[in-house]
Amino acid sequence: MITSAIVGCVETLKHELYLGELCFHLVEIYEFALVAAALDVAHLRSS
């Protein structure tokens, strides 16, 4: 019984870490897209 509880905990932690990583990457991609858009706008304004 205790073993299955520990396994359940570990699985949950893995899942949480995976979601955390996913969110982190999404934020990175979003920031990258914002910077790219800002650079595009700056480029268009200067030309």
Q: Mind giving me the DSSP string for 8-20?
A: HHHHHHHHHHHHH
Q: Which pTM was predicted?
A: 0.56
Residue position matching structure tokens 């991609």 = 29
Q: Give residue 26's pLDDT.
A: 93
Q: Give residue 23's pLDDT.
A: 87
Q: Give residue 31's pLDDT.
A: 96
* CA–CA distances in Å: residue 39 to residues 20, 27, 31, 44: 29, 18, 12, 9
Structure tokens at 34: 């914002």
In the predicted model, residues of the chain with pLDDT beneath 50 are none
